[in-house]
Structure 1
Amino acid sequence: MEKKRIAELDIIRGFALFGILLVNMKSFSYPGLETMMLPGTFWTDHISIITEKLIGIFAQANFYTLFSFLFGLGTMILIKNARSRIESFLVMIVRRLLVLLAFGVFHAFFIWSGDILITYALLGFILLLFHKASPKVLSITALLLMMVPGILFFFLLQAVSLLEPEAGTSVLLYDEAAVETALAVYQSGTYSEIFQHRLGEWQLVNNAANAPFLFIAVFPMFLLGAALGKSDLLLQVKEKAALFKLWMMIALIVGLPLKIIPYWGDMEYSYLFLGEQIGGPAMAIFYFFAILLLCQQPFFKRILTPLGNVGRMSITNYLTQSVICTMIFYSYGLGLYGSLGPIWTVLLAAVIFTIQIFLSRLWLQTFQYGPVEWIWRQLTYWRKLPIKRNKPVYRKL
């Protein structure tokens, strides 16, 4: 039904899932959405501020963009494989996206408002319009969509800041009333009250006004991933190692300063925006090629391999993270919302992810796919598929 998987991509996918969990912990555990992800707004002690800044530099906007890159890459590889074997491959891809959309709707409305699957599914339909484009066209389009709006909006925010200095200070976005409401609802509200609040949070982010920003944050990385997936470069990692190292270093040189600058001074919103819009994707590219190259060394491949089990079950683990964390922090679970500072949520994320590594390995010793992935594949191909493991799943690069 499908060609063997590329182990390195699952390892990178697993790595991205840990980074996503680190970032999402802020919204799981306290009013991160209402405080606009700004260090020192809710938790004011020194350790918490440093922890939040480190997450802001090395994780925020770096990992959902990495996952977006992998989504575009995986989708294009799937299209390449399906086109050669399935006459109506576009119908199959559309079914795949519709199922992903259904997963996202259930996740966003019944588990946690910070869902990304709905955005991926909807933008995936737009990605289909580019399935015949060359890697060069995909790459140029991606860079234009990322850089031009990002730079223009940065200068617009700079102009606003010059005209009204206090308007450029992102701390003004803090909504104290919204924070108090979130604390009350998630700490002691009923499931019905939490559902209503969750719906409002989702609409706060996913609306017509924010749609262009969601588009330029995610879709360019879809295109960059698709460009790599459409080329044959992943089958020539050893031969192209020098080129990949060059791309990795350029991404680091661009991305790291853009991520550090906003947290160095007064966190002016224009620099925060530039750091997330351009710095985040650059760091995602750096992470991708750094891990890809490390995996070519047997020592590091052995160390990183356990991440691949998590990556093979990426949707299952992503949804499970939300279930576990909401049960820990919301009133229908342990009710710890607003009680644990950033350093503790980082440690908790490490514990949860370690458990996922162990359980994923245990599951995949018997089964080919995670449970959600199995359902997704059956509905995608519209036929019953075996879930028991009966053959090797990986191919070598």
Structure 2
Amino acid sequence: MATTAAGDRYLTLDTVRGVAVLGILLLNIIAFSMPAPAYMNPAAYGGAQGADLAVWLGNFILFDSKMRGLFSFLFGASTLLVIDRATAKGESPGRVHYARMIWLLVFGLLHLWLVWWGDILSNYALMGMIAFFFRGARIKTLLIVGCILLGVQFLVASSLVLVSGMAQAMPDSPEWREAALALERGFGQPPQQWLAEDVALHRDGWWSLTTEQFRETSFAPIAGVFQYGWETLAYMLFGMAAFRNGMLAGRWERRRYWRWVAIGFGIGIAAYGTLALWIIGSGFEMTRVIAGTMVLTVPLRPLMIMGWASLIILLLRPGGLLTSRLAAAGRMAFTNYLATSLICTFIFYGWGLGWYGELSRAEVYLVVFGVWALILLWSKPWLERFAYGPLEWLWRSLARGRPQTMAGGVLVKA
């Protein structure tokens, strides 16, 4: 196939990215459909028994933060790919990269303030600006720096456990009481009155919700750099290393991929399963939820992310129906990610159908499967006619300072 304006494509990168953009919704659907603490603590809202508990358990062990991490891996790999192509064309890699990141930040802020509070694009843009300085680093350096960043993330997350413990030890202190309330609304089981107010707000009109959302999240991108940016950047660097050594490009021997599947899932499932039983045994007590989901999982996630990436690459079939659909979804990940937010906020928020807080944890997955079907059905036909997804085209055109051609036809490398 001939190369066009869209440039060469790597089937492995597109397919892994496609799985990641679909997989992220497995977790984000909880944040779309019910109060924020339900994301980490099923006892807070949505159900923590029977099918609801089973859904939480499956997500926690297999998908929670792994899909986001996989997406971050791909972001790092794609960053190198863009830089390499710009260099090969005689363009300034710095200008191309930072133009992309600045416009991604703009999209992310609009998404955060006008659509949904769970945006990750703004954090990706900010950490991507830092990742550029590692474009020429050796694979060993990328891995070492990434591990150091994960160490910092572990310490930052551990501070939440310390704050939780101090707040419980000094309940009469106004400062610690306020800290406890903040943690409770993220990881604990808030009072019914607070939950009812949150549900009422999200079922209200767009203006009242957006005004409150902007008040709550106006400085969230800056806070996010210090709260979880370390881990995001670490995953980007790991993704760069995985692209440089051929892993994400599909160049490893199959037995090497199978080895990582065995390592990632073997260690990860056993460890996550143990943590899940520890959390459940406490009745989803807040400190255990924080420790079990935010702290002790930090060294485990990269192993499972590598396991997932390896498994997807092993299972993809060039020319296969599902592979081609997933690859198309991955090529349009930016469009599909933002379209998912618009669809889900329409379904759950008051400016749309207003289903917020109505469905149980298990029931919301009917929405997930519907959104997946839409993404898989529309991405491939669109890309058979056009070189980019609609928002990919807009992003590229803004970053390049001129409208890009939408002619179709892309060279795909297996």
Q: TM-score, normalised by structure 1?
A: 0.88
Percent identity over the alignment is 27
Alignment of 1:173-188 (within 5 A): 173-176=188-191, 177-187=193-203
The Cα offsets for residues 306-337 of structure 1, whole Å up to 9 and x where unpaired, read as 11111111011110101011111111111110
Cα separation, 1, equivalents of 2:219 and 2:105:
19
Cα separation, 2, equivalents of 1:375 and 1:294:
32
| Deviates further, 192-201 or 68-77 | 192-201
Q: Give 1:203 deviation, angstroms.
A: 5.0
Alignment-derived partner of residue 251 in structure 1: 264
Aligned residues of 2:318 and 2:324 also touching (Cα < 8 A):
no
The Cα offsets for residues 32-56 of structure 1, whole Å up to 9 and x where unpaired, read as x234521222133422122122222
> What's the C-alpha RMSD, in Å, of the aligned pairs?
2.9
Cα separation, 2, equivalents of 1:277 and 1:231:
24
Cα separation, 2, equivalents of 1:120 and 1:163:
32
The Cα offsets for residues 190-223 of structure 1, whole Å up to 9 and x where unpaired, read as 2221102222443585453x53231123111000
Cα separation, 2, equivalents of 1:248 and 1:166:
46
Aligned residues of 2:6 and 2:388 also touching (Cα < 8 A):
no
Note closer, same or farther for the CA distance 1:106–1:275 as it changes in structure 2 (3 Å cut): same
Alignment-derived partner of residue 226 in structure 2: 212
Alignment-derived partner of residue 412 in structure 2: 394
Alignment-derived partner of residue 386 in structure 2: 367
Aligned residues of 1:21 and 1:349 also touching (Cα < 8 A):
yes
The Cα offsets for residues 94-114 of structure 1, whole Å up to 9 and x where unpaired, read as 001111111111111111111
Aligned residues of 1:34 and 1:178 also touching (Cα < 8 A):
no
Alignment-derived partner of residue 110 in structure 2: 106
Cα separation, 2, equivalents of 1:158 and 1:378:
47
Structure 1 letter corresponding to 2:227? F
Alignment of 1:99-178 (within 5 A): 99-147=103-151, 149-150=153-154, 154=158, 157=161, 173-176=188-191, 177-178=193-194
- The reply to whether residue 222 of structure 1 matches residue 236 of structure 2 is yes
- The reply to whether residue 7 of structure 1 matches residue 28 of structure 2 is no
Note closer, same or farther for the CA distance 1:36–1:24 as it changes in structure 2 (3 Å cut): closer
Cα separation, 1, equivalents of 2:159 and 2:211:
37
Q: TM-score, normalised by structure 2?
A: 0.85
Cα separation, 2, equivalents of 1:166 and 1:36:
27
Aligned residues of 1:130 and 1:138 also touching (Cα < 8 A):
yes
Aligned residues of 1:154 and 1:271 also touching (Cα < 8 A):
no
Where structure 2 has 5 or more consecutive residues not aligned to the other structure, the ranges are: 172-179
Cα separation, 1, equivalents of 2:219 and 2:44:
20
Cα separation, 2, equivalents of 1:292 and 1:39:
32
- The size of the alignment, in residue pairs, is 388
Give the SS at the match of 1:365.
helix
Cα separation, 2, equivalents of 1:151 and 1:130:
23
2:254 to 237, 241, 261: 241
Cα separation, 2, equivalents of 1:101 and 1:285:
27
Give the SS at the match of 2:298.
helix
Cα separation, 2, equivalents of 1:358 and 1:156:
42
Cα separation, 1, equivalents of 2:113 and 2:167:
40
Cα separation, 1, equivalents of 2:82 and 2:38:
39
Note closer, same or farther for the CA distance 1:163–1:385 as it changes in structure 2 (3 Å cut): closer
Cα separation, 2, equivalents of 1:114 and 1:4:
32
Cα separation, 2, equivalents of 1:328 and 1:149:
34
